């Protein structure tokens, strides 16, 4: 008896059970769940698939992993249990998140794309939007700014606006979120994009531009771990311009003055005045005192004729050059004078205004656990990105908690909490100015005075930003708090009720204060201006959904839902500004001057509500024939007489591979599904309907001490929803168990488009917001994934996506004009030999097109000039009329003041209509400004514990205009630096140059380079090497010694290269930046990131 009891006791004692979980190929499965059935005890496998768990004989171990069949094994006498999990064919097609539910991909009939979340694990990002570039077909992610925290433009299938705009609806865990900002990618479990109207109709009027569904991580039964992640990125700015140094700048600027001063002598006075290339600058005053450039504008720039007074500067790092021009004793231009010595000093704006490198740090700690009773996930993240401009940054702190608890067998509670705090500071000047215009600050600016103090330069905006940076106090802060609570009641096996509520609070505080600062040499701004603004928005969403699932006669499967939702968002804000604080130590508005005319206060409040009723039925017969029907009815508070809209969606599918006649082909064609869909949705985007759109707008003015009010925008109580009809057909297949291919064609028509209709000035009112025309989008999307190799040690995949989209205006309001055009301009059409209207909005045309003057060459010889400009020829696009020099020479002095002569080195422009006049009618078609094709491709290769991935994205079929380069190359401001293109401009010694003669302030002269022309239009097509990532997973035999379930080391590179003809600061920026403004933008920095993940 004693022996038996002892034996039984020994059997009952727990021991350590260990083993390895593999797939059918023998590869280890990491993060698989292992738990003892009927208990809360569970672990997860390490990176090699190995596990250790305390269990006793008789316990049943449950092994689970997503996409594989669950396996149960009873513990026997052996302490080692190895398990091979088989793929679950039903789950292989994934579970796809839809609005208010999920569905297996094999039963999906709408157009939905799912992101491979491995993309989110690599690299370093302020938000997940940039990870979508080149990963979702039809989704164009345009990363136009490298500013810390910047969110890229995201457009699906060409957008819904005439100009190709319109951002998708972003939903996080089923509830509306205000865009992608401040979302921590480490907390994301999955991202799905709903594309066609049959999929988006369940979200009604807000889903016209598609829907991005973000699901955050949740706890899993039997999995318990702590993950610690650390990433540090090193950022390097890619400056797209090659600027001249000081000697080159002086040479070319003075030569440009000489060349253009020949026919406009007033320009020659720039040569000996105070300025960046003039020689009227001073080192000392008449008394011999060294001048301070912060006090005296004569000491801002370095060029001076060498003299006994200033030559001592040569021992202090200054340089000397020979003036390329001849001047007299007074320094004025004189062809009969001499070439004198100029002393100068180099100034590099980047040395003062930009960091050589900046750091981005991203740290995340998460905990997850759970059992059959309850599950939880908690994540804490800290993100800190330093900008390339000095004293700029973006910081974010996030916290997420998701918990599920089974209160009763029939009652489950789910709670979610999400908090994000963000702080940032941008460049004081606009980012376009700071990183384009200001980079071109003259290289002859004196950086410091003789005492080593920083000099402001020309002024605080176009000078040295380091001088005043600490004088401008800027504080930007947002807090976003989300609380979600839901209950699921399982009444019957097939019937359940889910009730959910979401509370989203968005609070923003923004403060600005200018201390006393040096505005320009000798001039201090002592206004001490101060401003503050506060805004907050409270969004509440409540819904109740009944779900019913049934299987009838084993082959009829029904999954139906019906419910109602109420959405309410209330926003309010306050802004105030003032000036005259007593000292720099007091920035609060209460301490500014209280004079009623100097302190300004403004407030606003808005509210919108949507009441919705929704339903959906998914039906399939034997998983072969599929049907989904959706209906949503919305009532929108901002509309008056047309508040309610109905939005149906219908889609069907056919799984051919399940047919008997197809079985002989299934070894080659493993699955094949045809699908088609139709849907009708509305659009009431805030981009079109503001808080006061239907009420009209009023302006006020004071006249004769009385205030009057004027109606500006007419109220329109009859404004209707935009109506979108979407049709789509698609094919999805899997070949040889290796190749997944999806092809879709869509056609979308938008009717009753909402737009502003402008009235003539004589009407006395400006505009009305009205339903203003119809538009069409159509395109093709292709998704390809190829599993090249998969065995015990190797796993190699290749993926490719491509999307084609074309937009066209179908109808505009009748206005009596050709094609009912709105705006636009006339050009000569050689085919019809008539003037035609292009640009603007016109029926039958793509609105995203560009026209410009065609440069057919440069006048290199006198024969070229005579052949180009006959005696009657005139170019009207110069600052004055441009004529043949013989005509000019025969003019009176008065007429010469209205003309410039065309000369060697000028541009020959195409005279399209042959009328001997260059004018606006001679502009020609350059191309589209929005890509026809977008997409991406990449590869992923794993060998044992090493993983290498590479990702490209591309855009094709559009042109880009490099306005910033035009601005520099034409010396448009007159006193800014120029770029290396000047070395290839026409001169008598360089007659075969690429570019025309370099003139000073060209836009005020012949407008050769400054006018928008083919010289600076380029194919915008680009291929971006977006990311390369290398990860090494340490072997389990090492990590086990550290009590770790896994340790991963990684290094990645982002934004590594563009392959493109475009010369813009970023090929993705399209035509952002115009010659008139001379501004570009913030180039995307190249980033090298090092990462470490430690799992307990």
Q: Provide the percentage of residues in the chain whose pLDDT is more than 70.
A: 93
* Most trustworthy range by pLDDT among 175-184, 203-212, 895-904, 1080-1089: 895-904
More confident residue, 92 or 829: 829
- Segment 81-107 mean pLDDT: 77
Does residue 592 carry a pLDDT above 80?
no
Kindly report the three-state secondary structure assignment for every residue of 612-677: EEEEEEEEEECCCEEEEEEEEEEEECCCCCCCEEEEEEEEEEEEHHHCHHHHHHCCCEEEEEEEEE
Nearest to 120 by CA among 110, 112, 111, 130: 130
What band does 1081 get if pLDDT is binned at 50, 70 and 90?
confident
Residue ranges of domains in the chain, CATH in brackets: 2-88 (2.60.40.1120), 91-220 (2.170.130.10), 246-345 (no CATH)
Query: In this predicted model, what pLDDT tens digit does every residue of 381-394 receive, in sequence order?
Result: 999 999 988 889 99
Q: What's the CA gap between 855 and 694, in Å, rounded?
A: 48
Q: What is the pLDDT of residue 962?
A: 87
Does residue 599 carry a pLDDT above 70?
no
Q: How many CB atoms lie within 10 A of CB 606?
A: 15
Q: What's the CA gap between 421 and 409, in Å, rounded?
A: 38
What band does 692 get if pLDDT is binned at 50, 70 and 90?
low
Query: In this predicted model, what pLDDT tens digit does every residue of 1009-1023 receive, in sequence order?
Result: 999 999 999 998 999
More confident residue, 596 or 430: 430
pTM: 0.86
Does residue 764 carry a pLDDT above 80?
no
Does residue 545 carry a pLDDT above 90?
yes
- Segment 489-513 mean pLDDT: 93
- Segment 531-556 mean pLDDT: 94
What band does 107 get if pLDDT is binned at 50, 70 and 90?
confident
More confident residue, 350 or 89: 350
Nearest to 745 by CA among 719, 770, 782, 788: 782
Nearest to 649 by CA among 629, 625, 675: 629
Q: What is the pLDDT of residue 687?
A: 62
Q: What is the pLDDT of residue 4?
A: 42
Out of 141-145, 428-432, 531-535, least confident range:
428-432
More confident residue, 691 or 330: 330
Does residue 27 carry a pLDDT above 80?
no
Does residue 48 carry a pLDDT above 80?
no
Asked if residues 621 and 647 have their Cβ atoms less than 8 Å apart, the reply is: no
Q: What's the CA gap between 326 and 329, in Å, rounded?
A: 10
Q: What is the pLDDT of residue 91?
A: 43
Q: What is the pLDDT of residue 845?
A: 86
Q: What is the pLDDT of residue 822?
A: 84
Q: What is the pLDDT of residue 440?
A: 85
Any idea of the CA torsion for 193, 196, 198, 203, to the nearest 10 degrees? Answer: 50
- Segment 245-254 mean pLDDT: 96
Cα-to-chain-centroid distance, residue 318: 44
Does residue 1092 carry a pLDDT above 80?
yes
The tally of CA atoms less than 13 A away on the side-chain side of residue 319 is 14
Average pLDDT value over all residues in the chain: 88
Q: What's the CA gap between 679 and 1039, in Å, rounded?
A: 53
- Residue 940 makes CB contacts below 8 A (sequence gap 6+) with 118, 795, 796, 797, 947, 948, 949
Measured at the CA of 1032, the angle between CA 1028 and CA 1038, to 5 degrees, comes to 170
Q: What is the pLDDT of residue 696?
A: 67
């Amino acid at each position: 008896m004693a022996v038996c009891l002892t034996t039984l006791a020994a059997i009952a004692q727990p021991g350590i059970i260990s083993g390895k979980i593999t797939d059918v190929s023998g590869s280890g499965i990491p993060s698989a769940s292992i738990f003892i059935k009927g208990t809360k005890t569970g672990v997860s496998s390490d990176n090699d698939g190995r596990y250790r768990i305390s269990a006793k004989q008789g316990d049943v171990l449950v092994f689970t992993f997503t996409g594989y069949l669950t396996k149960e094994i009873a513990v026997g006498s052996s302490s080692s249990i190895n398990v091979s999990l088989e793929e679950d064919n039903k789950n292989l097609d994934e579970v796809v998140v839809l609005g208010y539910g999920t569905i297996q991909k094999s039963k999906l009939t709408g157009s939905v794309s799912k992101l491979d979340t491995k993309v989110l694990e690599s690299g370093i990002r302020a938000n997940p939007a940039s990870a979508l570039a080149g990963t979702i077909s039809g989704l164009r992610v345009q990363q136009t700014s490298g500013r810390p925290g910047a969110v890229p433009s995201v457009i699906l299938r060409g957008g819904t606006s005439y100009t190709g705009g319109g951002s998708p609806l972003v939903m996080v865990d089923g509830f509306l979120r205000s865009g992608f900002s401040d979302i921590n990618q480490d907390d994301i479990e999955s991202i799905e994009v709903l594309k066609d109207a049959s999929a988006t109709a369940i979200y009604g009027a807000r889903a016209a531009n598609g829907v991005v569904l973000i699901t955050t991580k949740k706890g899993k039964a039997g999995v318990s771990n702590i993950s610690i992640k650390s990433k540090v990125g090193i950022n390097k700015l890619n400056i797209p311009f090659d600027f001249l140094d000081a000697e080159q700048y002086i040479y070319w600027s003075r030569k440009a003055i000489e060349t253009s001063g020949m026919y406009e002598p007033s320009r020659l006075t720039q040569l000996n005045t105070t300025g960046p290339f003039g020689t009227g600058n001073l080192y000392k005053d008449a008394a011999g005192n060294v001048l301070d450039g912060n006090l005296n504008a004569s000491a801002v720039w370095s060029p001076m004729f060498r003299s006994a007074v200033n030559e001592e500067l040569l021992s202090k790092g200054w340089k000397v050059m020979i003036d390329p021009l001849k001047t007299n004793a007074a320094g004025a231009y004189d062809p009969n004078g001499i070439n004198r010595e100029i002393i100068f000093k180099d100034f590099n704006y980047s040395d003062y205004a930009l960091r050589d490198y900046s750091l981005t740090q991203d740290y995340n700690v998460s905990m997850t656990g759970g059992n059959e009773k309850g599950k939880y996930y908690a994540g804490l993240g800290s993100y800190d990105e330093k900008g390339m401009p000095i004293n700029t940054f973006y910081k974010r702190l996030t916290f997420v908690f998701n918990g599920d608890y089974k209160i009763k067998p029939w009652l489950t509670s789910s709670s979610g909490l999400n908090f994000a705090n963000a702080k940032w500071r941008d460049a004081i000047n606009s980012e376009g100015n700071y990183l384009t215009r200001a980079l071109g600050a003259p290289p002859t600016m004196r950086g410091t005075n003789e005492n080593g103090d920083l000099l402001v330069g020309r002024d605080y905006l176009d000078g040295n930003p380091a001088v005043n940076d600490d004088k401008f106090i800027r504080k930007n802060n947002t807090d976003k708090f989300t609380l979600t609570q839901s209950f699921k009641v399982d009444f019957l096996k097939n019937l359940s009720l889910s009730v959910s509520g979401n509370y989203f609070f968005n609070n923003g505080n923004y403060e600005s204060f200018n201390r006393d600062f040096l505005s320009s040499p000798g001039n201090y701004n002592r206004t001490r201006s101060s401003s503050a603004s506060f805004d907050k928005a409270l969004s509440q969403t409540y819904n109740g959904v009944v779900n019913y699932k049934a299987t009838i006669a084993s082959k009829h499967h029904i999954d139906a839902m019906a419910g109602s939702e109420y959405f309410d968002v209330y926003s309010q804000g306050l802004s105030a500004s003032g000036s005259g604080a007593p000292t720099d130590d007091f920035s609060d508005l209460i301490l500014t001057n209280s004079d009623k005319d100097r302190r300004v206060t403004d407030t606003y409040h808005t509210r919108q509500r949507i009441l919705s009723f929704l339903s959906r039925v998914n039906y399939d017969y034997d998983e072969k024939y599929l049907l989904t029907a959706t209906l949503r009815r919305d009532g929108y508070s901002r509309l008056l007489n047309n508040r309610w809209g109905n939005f149906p969606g219908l889609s069907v599918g056919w799984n051919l591979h399940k047919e008997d006649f197809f079985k002989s082909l299934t070894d080659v064609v493993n699955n094949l599904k045809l699908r088609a869909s139709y849907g009708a949705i509305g659009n009431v985007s805030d981009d079109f309907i503001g808080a006061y759109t239907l009420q009209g707008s009023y302006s006020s003015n004071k006249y004769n001490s009385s205030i009057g009010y004027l109606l500006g925008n007419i109220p329109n109580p009859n404004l209707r929803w935009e109506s979108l009809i979407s049709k789509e057909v698609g094919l999805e297949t899997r070949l040889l168990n290796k190749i997944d291919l999806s092809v879709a064609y869509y056609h979308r028509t938008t009717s009753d488009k909402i737009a502003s209709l402008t009235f003539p000035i004589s009407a006395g009112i400006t505009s009305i917001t009205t339903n203003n025309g119809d538009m069409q989008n159509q395109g093709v999307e292709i998704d390809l994934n190829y599993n090249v190799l998969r065995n015990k040690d190797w796993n190699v995949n290749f993926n490719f996506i491509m999307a084609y989209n074309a937009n066209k205006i179908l109808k505009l309001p009748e206005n009596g004009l050709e094609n009912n055009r709105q705006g636009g301009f006339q050009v000569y059409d050689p085919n019809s030999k008539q003037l035609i209207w292009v640009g603007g909005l016109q029926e039958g045309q793509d609105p995203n097109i560009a026209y410009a003057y065609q440069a057919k060459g440069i006048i290199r010889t006198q024969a070229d000039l005579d052949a180009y400009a006959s005696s009657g020829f005139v170019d009207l696009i110069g600052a004055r009329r441009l004529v043949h020099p013989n005509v000019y020479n025969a003019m009176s002095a008065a007429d010469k003041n209205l003309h410039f002569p065309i000369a060697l080195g000028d541009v020959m422009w195409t005279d399209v209509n042959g009328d001997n006049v260059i004018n606006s009618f001679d502009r020609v078609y350059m191309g589209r400004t929005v890509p026809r094709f977008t997409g991406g491709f990449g590869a992923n290769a794993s060998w044992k514990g090493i993983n290498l991935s590479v990702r490209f994205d591309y855009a094709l079929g559009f042109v880009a205009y490099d306005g910033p380069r035009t601005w520099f190359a034409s010396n448009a401001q007159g006193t800014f630096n120029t770029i290396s293109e000047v070395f290839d401009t026409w001169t008598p010694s360089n007659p075969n140059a690429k570019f025309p003669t370099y003139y000073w302030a060209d836009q005020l002269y012949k407008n050769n380079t400054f006018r928008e022309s083919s010289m600076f239009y380029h194919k915008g097509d680009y291929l971006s090497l977006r990311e390369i990532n290398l990860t090494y997973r340490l072997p389990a035999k090492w990590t086990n010694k550290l009590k770790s379930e896994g340790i991963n080391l990684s290094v990645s590179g982002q934004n590594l290269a563009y392959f493109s003809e475009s010369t813009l600061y970023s090929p993705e920026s399209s035509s952002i930046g115009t010659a008139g403004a001379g501004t570009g933008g913030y180039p995307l920095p190249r980033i090298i990131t090092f990462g470490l993940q430690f799992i307990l």
